[in-house]
Structure 1
């Protein structure tokens, strides 16, 4: 009987030891799960809302991801990207922003003014920061105050056009020109603001600005054909709808034998004569650096004034110049950031 009781006691002790061991394994598993959770928390989800599909905005997106990567936030490593394109439709831009909010992304990158305005409206009442890029006039878009201070949890980079430098370059290229045409979308705040600057400065260089407003991309062809009959040249803005239909504008201008000046390098590559513009990949990288600070908790978007690139560069296309019988000013060509000897249409 005593042997039987002793055996039962030993069995109970062994069972308790096994259970205790199981308890330790569970604790270790729990710790491992916690570490896994910490690892997941270090992965960021960023929604990128791109208003339209064209070279300059694509370059902004590329630069944005490069800027994040240089700051240690890399897609496929610790960054998940949700990319959506509004195809130049403001209603779609609003839907995209609402969708990002519903997914509770860590940050929204809004590329171009309509996308930025939509993202700002959608994120009101949330803690989701918005970092924009390619917004020509953040103040006119009511995304910043006159001194550059954000109006909320939103900031970014501006692609304000170097209007005076562009006018100087056009005058050097076309000594006898009098009228410059500008095609723009009436719903794009950035375009209206830039046209006002053109009209303010044009007289200083002996120019008159003739502007034509459109509502949708379907209006571009008729408007362009009418505008080329009234002017000596056209200068493009960073108007997303017009730039999306650049080849339509160029076709009308080529038929009229007048040049189109671009607002950035991609437009010159695709058939514009020349531009005093900015590098949109660099602009995007600058935006990515700002976004990285916000994601890492080093600063809040509401604490960062918007930034811009202040030094424009000259880009020229010699094939376009030859086709039009125009000689590009050598002082610009010699200091060009990049020259193209062919027209590259994607």
Structure 2
């Protein structure tokens, strides 16, 4: 009898210890993150992701472990990170930006690990989704598809005389190529001649910027990681030539772009984090969930840039802006 009581007592102690370790019986989760570049837009996306997870009861330091990796805008490093994460024991893989998403998915597609992506303009072009938004595998996420027509309308409102609209983009980044096609479709409707100039790597950007500035009245920036990484350089060169540069989201306007009809990456990250939490908790399956598009673009303006370039900021435009920066 004493032996049986001893065994029961041991089991009770072991159960109590396990509960204390996992927060009273709640499951502990582990996710691996492959972030393509170290710039504020993608950092905001990651921070929002963590906030979204926390809002669903999954919090780093309590019941969540995060293996964070950054590829520093290097595709080969993104591929290495994808392979590393796919061979690990994470419950979920998260990819931030198109190159990292493609690398991670290719590494994990034959393994039973769900994946969630974010900050991808065109998941279909990236082979992560079908035309109906359904997943091509055990993968889902959120898209940062740009409100191109709203941007063109705002550029025309601010610069009624502008004719040549320039865009720098990376030829190997599928989301950038997809966005260029959208601009080609709508630019003429707003009276613009589109001048798109491709680069293959970051080191091409200084010369490409000089070239495009000699051909255009205005530049609009898209969500191209190489270009975003070089935005301070582009802005310096453009300001010297008095050529306004429009951004595609809030952080680019903070840096000095004149305005943007864009998205808030912190909010996009939160939306993604909530989706990721549902996958982790088994409420949805990545393999059965269509990707979501962030549909709440806002107008952001930089009043100092208006003043620096001598461009009129109308009262109507200033009132319409969700945020303005000095």
TM-score bracket for the superposition, by shorter chain length = over 0.9
Residue 22 of structure 2 contacts residue 28 of structure 2 at CA under 8 Å; is this kept in 1? no
Aligned to 2:266: 281
Task: Give the direction of change, closer, same or farther, for the CA distance of 1:339–1:102 in structure 2 (3 Å limit).
Answer: same
Deviations 1:216-265 (A, max 9, x none): 11111111011100000110000001000101111111121110000001
Q: Residues of 2 paired with 1:50 and 1:206: CA distance?
A: 37
Q: Residues of 2 paired with 1:325 and 1:158: CA distance?
A: 35
Aligned to 1:49: 34
Residue correspondence of structure 1 range 55-66 to structure 2 within 5 A: 55-66=40-51
Residue correspondence of structure 1 range 160-179 to structure 2 within 5 A: 160-179=145-164
Q: Residues of 2 paired with 1:334 and 1:41: CA distance?
A: 48
Q: Residues of 1 paired with 2:269 and 2:310: CA distance?
A: 35
Aligned residues between the structures: 325
Aligned to 2:138: 153
> Which runs of 5 or more structure 2 residues have no equivalent in the other structure?
none
Aligned to 1:251: 236
> Which runs of 5 or more structure 1 residues have no equivalent in the other structure?
1-16, 342-346
Largest Rg, 1 or 2: 1
Task: Give the direction of change, closer, same or farther, for the CA distance of 1:58–1:27 in structure 2 (3 Å limit).
Answer: closer
SS in 2 for 1:200: helix
Q: Please say if 1:338 is aligned against 2:307.
A: no
Residue correspondence of structure 1 range 1-346 to structure 2 within 5 A: 19-32=3-16, 35=19, 42-341=27-326
Q: Residues of 1 paired with 2:197 and 2:145: CA distance?
A: 20
Task: Give the direction of change, closer, same or farther, for the CA distance of 1:200–1:23 in structure 2 (3 Å limit).
Answer: closer
Q: Residues of 2 paired with 1:38 and 1:70: CA distance?
A: 19
Deviation for aligned residue 1:154: 0.6
Task: Give the direction of change, closer, same or farther, for the CA distance of 1:27–1:283 in structure 2 (3 Å limit).
Answer: closer
Deviations 1:163-214 (A, max 9, x none): 0000000001111100011000111000000001101100001101111111
Aligned to 1:5: none
Q: Residues of 1 paired with 2:300 and 2:233: CA distance?
A: 21
Aligned to 1:3: none
Q: Residues of 2 paired with 1:176 and 1:35: CA distance?
A: 68
Q: Residues of 2 paired with 1:311 and 1:30: CA distance?
A: 50
SS in 2 for 1:134: strand
Q: Residues of 2 paired with 1:34 and 1:333: CA distance?
A: 57
TM-score when scaled to structure 1?
Answer: 0.90
Deviation for aligned residue 1:108: 1.1
Residue 129 of structure 1 contacts residue 301 of structure 1 at CA under 8 Å; is this kept in 2? yes
* Runs ≥4 residues deviating over 6 A: none
Task: Give the direction of change, closer, same or farther, for the CA distance of 1:318–1:23 in structure 2 (3 Å limit).
Answer: closer
